[in-house]
Amino acid sequence: MNPISYIFAGLAAVAAGLINALAGGGTLITFPVLMAIGLPAISANVTNTVALLPGFLGGTLAQSKDLKDQKKRLWIALPAALLGGLAGGILLLQTGEKLFTNMVPFLILLASTLLAIQNPVKAWLSRRQEEGKAKPAAEYWVFIPVFLGAIYGGYFGAGLSVIMLAVLGLIMSDTLTRLNALKQVIAFATNMAAALFFVFSGKVVWSIALVMMAGALLGGTLGGRLASKVKPVTLRWMVVTIGFTVGIIYLVKTFFLA
């Protein structure tokens, strides 16, 4: 890796930290940059997961007060998230490099779509709660969809928060704020399980990961200070636009220009 590669990775991580703090979707910035500077697809994905993990911890701690009185739910959801994240990480490393590279355009487009529908999903769930239409099943059933969603999270991860929030809103009856806090800790547990597995995989490019960790922390701090000055919706649509653009470019490059 040359110095320019580290600069690009660090700047992408700063942007991702800021974006995650304000709107979500930072992976749609960092993952393509890691591939652009020469990391193979699987190594880029693994390195990205490890590097951005501290940001998920920060988000979880920031919403910890809304997790009070949700211990029973955590005992159900956290094991599902940890097991699913680990399963997704194992599945990723069992995927051949060529196959995963071919999947990259579709994963980016899927993640961009999930980010695009984040606000409509939140609005729909909020209406369900207000209108009293949410008639949840027994909450222990949340284990299965959380586990399945966490597999995706451990495998790729971008857009996981939208999936988890929808699952929680359909099964549990609670305020959107409390469900959002629960979603945050589930996403952190999912990524932590995958990241801990990746640490021993030999696929993490540690020099890049450490630079990105510092950048993500800086970006998250900046995001917190800019929260009152930047419209999250505007930022989110910028990321969505970038995601769709990058996804289409990779699609054309992989299947039409190869």
pLDDT of residue 179: 84
pLDDT of residue 74: 87
pLDDT of residue 203: 92
pLDDT digits (tens, 9 = 90+) for 54-113: 877 777 777 778 788 888 888 999 999 999 999 999 999 999 999 999 999 999 999 989
Whole-prediction pTM value?
A: 0.86
DSSP-based three-state secondary structure for 1: coil
Instruction: Count the neighbouring beta carbons within 10 Å of the beta carbon of residue 1.
Output: 13
Average pLDDT of span 214-233: 77
Q: Calculate the alpha carbon distances from 204 to 22, 46, 48, 96, 195 in Å.
A: 27, 6, 9, 16, 10
Share of the chain above pLDDT 70, in %: 93
Average pLDDT of span 192-203: 93
Contact 129, 139 (CB under 8 A): no
Instruction: Please give, one letter per residue, the 3-state secondary structure of 208-251.
Output: HHHHHHHHHHHHHHHHHHHCCCCCHHHHHHHHHHHHHHHHHHHH
Its sign, for the CA torsion 189, 194, 198, 203, is negative
pLDDT of residue 224: 65
pLDDT of residue 68: 81
Instruction: Please give, one letter per residue, the 3-state secondary structure of 165-208.
Output: HHHHHHHCCCCHHHHHHHHHHHHHHHHHHHHHHHHCCCCCCHHH
pLDDT above 60 (res 7): yes
pLDDT digits (tens, 9 = 90+) for 155-180: 998 878 888 888 888 787 777 778 88
pLDDT above 80 (res 6): yes
Share of the chain above pLDDT 90, in %: 43
pLDDT of residue 140: 76
Contact 42, 97 (CB under 8 A): yes
pLDDT above 80 (res 139): no
